[in-house]
């Protein structure tokens, strides 16, 4: 039976990506070698990384003056690398979840950290608004999609200081005005590639403003100058990322993805509203994520939580258990998830409701 893959990350990738990567593991680009055993300096791999960087720029419409870096270490390493390279005295952070909190904690080792607003007291179930950002901060850090709690900032903020965004779980899900950001980073394992790859989109003129010594591997300049080849980059995930980017381009780019994501999330949120068993954990409709849809059972039906999970599991749906800090359910609807999987989930919710007296 074909599985419906709702995992939050690592997560579903296009069949195109999985098939081409599997093929390259056996025979990469007709070399007679596996992608697993080829030099990252070979001309065949250089072609892969170059095309991946240029497609990344093309699909996101990245303007001049920006670089796309492919690094290791995950988004979690960026939590430190950002302040290491950018924080002189003070940085501002919007606390919208566990990942944002971790980013803040890392920054505290490099200077003063101002939390401009936080939704922590209500389990991060909304995106704070109306906060003010200190104009003397070196940058403002946001997490555009809060993977665990299911909230999302979809507008590109207009602010007067450099904007840094963790877009681990909504990169390529919609068009982004990259010119509004100094840095966009993320782990690739949510919407782009298998685990092991970290992407960083960086405006070069943001660098060179801190005095401290930055170790070579933590210095963005190293990777800009080295074309992400200062050391061995994650070869296989970069190959897979290229396949996802090709697939995305074929399927209407980020505008096409956005259209499909709105349709998929719309279908599921609508059923959550209609179905007497369930409710969304995010009261404000505008704050609801299109990527990670979090919902719980209404109080009076709480006893049916486990049976519902068993019910959908039996129908080939995986990854629907909510994060332990929220409970309930989380359906991750990344780019590669077909609408048929959402329809199957909605149908299961309706069938389960009918089975309850």
Ligand X SMILES: *Cc1c(COP(=O)(O)O)cnc(C)c1O
Task: Return the range that interacts with ligand X (CB under 6 A); candidates 53-61, 72-80, 208-216, 236-244.
Answer: 72-80
β-bridge partners, 184? 165, 201
218 in Cβ contact with 107 (< 8 Å): no
> CA distances (Å), 319 to each of 9, 10, 101, 312, in order?
9, 10, 24, 10
What's the token pair of residue 304?
């049916």
Closest to ligand X by CB, 142 or 312: 142
Q: How far is CA 303 from the centre of its chain?
A: 33
* Largest pairwise CA distance in the chain: 67
Question: Token digits for 220?
Answer: 């963005």
Fill in the per-residue mask, 31 to 70: x = in contact with ligand X (CB under 6 A), - = not in contact.
----------------------------------------
Q: How far is the CB of 121 from ligand X (least distance, A)?
A: 20
* By CB under 6 A, residue 289 contacts ligand X: no
Touching ligand X, residues 197-256 (CB under 6 A) = none
Element (H, E) at 245: helix 235-250
Whether 247 is catalytic is no
Burial level of 211, CB count in 10 A (0-12/13-18/19+)? exposed
Q: State which of residues 6, 7, 28, 99 lies at the interface with ligand X (CB under 6 A).
A: 99
Kindly state the smallest distance separating residue 190's Cβ from ligand X, in Å.
Answer: 6
- Tell me if 143 contacts ligand X by CB under 6 A: yes
Contact between 163 and 152 under an 8 Å Cβ cutoff? The reply is no
Specify the residue, 14 or 101, whose C-beta has the smaller distance to ligand X: 101
Instruction: Find out whether 188 and 48 touch, Cβ atoms under 8 Å.
Output: no
C-alpha atoms less than 13 angstroms from C-alpha of 84 in its C-beta half-sphere = 15
Does 9 bind ligand X (CB under 6 A)? Our answer is yes
Rounded to a whole number of angstroms, the minimum distance from the CB of residue 334 to ligand X is 11
Range in contact with ligand X (rule: CB under 6 A) among 110-118, 152-160, 163-171, 237-245: 163-171
Site membership for ligand X, residue 154 (CB under 6 A):
no
As annotated, the active-site residues are 99, 166, 190
Task: List interacting residues with ligand X (CB under 6 A).
Answer: 9, 74-76, 99, 143, 147, 166, 168-169, 187, 190
């Amino acid at each position: 039976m074909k599985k419906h893959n709702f995992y939050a990350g690592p997560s579903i990738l296009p069949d195109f990506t999985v098939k081409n990567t599997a093929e390259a593991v056996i025979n990469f680009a007709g070399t007679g070698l596996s992608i697993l055993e080829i030099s990252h300096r070979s001309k065949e791999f250089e072609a892969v990384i170059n095309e991946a960087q240029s497609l990344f720029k093309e699909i996101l419409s990245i303007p001049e003056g920006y670089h796309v870096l492919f690094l290791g270490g995950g988004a979690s390493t960026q939590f430190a690398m950002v302040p290491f390279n950018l924080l002189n005295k003070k940085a501002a952070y919007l606390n919208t979840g566990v990942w944002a909190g971790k980013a803040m904690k890392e920054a505290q080792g490099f200077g003063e950290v101002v939390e401009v607003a936080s939704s922590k007291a209500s389990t991060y179930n909304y995106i704070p608004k109306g906060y003010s950002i200190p104009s003397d901060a070196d940058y403002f850090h946001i997490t555009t999609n809060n993977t665990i709690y299911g909230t999302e900032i979809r507008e590109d903020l207009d602010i007067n200081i450099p904007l840094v965004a963790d877009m681990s779980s909504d990169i390529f899900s919609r068009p982004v005005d990259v010119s509004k950001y100094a840095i966009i980073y993320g782990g690739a394992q949510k919407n782009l590639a298998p685990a092991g790859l970290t992407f960083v989109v960086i405006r070069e003129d943001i660098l060179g403003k801190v005095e401290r010594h930055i170790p070579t591997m933590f210095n963005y300049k190293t990777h800009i100058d080295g074309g992400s080849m200062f050391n061995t980059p994650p070869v296989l995930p970069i190959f897979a990322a290229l396949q996802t980017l090709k697939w995305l381009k074929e399927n209407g780019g980020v505008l096409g993805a956005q259209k499909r994501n709105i349709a998929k999330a719309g279908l599921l949120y609508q059923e959550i509203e209609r179905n007497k068993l369930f409710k969304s954990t995010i009261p404000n409709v505008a704050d609801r994520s299109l990527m990670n849809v979090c919902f719980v059972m209404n109080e009076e039906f709480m006893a049916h939580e486990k049976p519902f999970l068993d019910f959908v599991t039996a129908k080939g749906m995986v990854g629907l258990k909510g994060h332990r800090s929220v409970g309930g359910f989380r359906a991750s609807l990344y780019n590669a998830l077909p609408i048929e999987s959402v329809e199957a989930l909605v149908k299961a919710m309706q069938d389960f409701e009918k089975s309850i007296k």
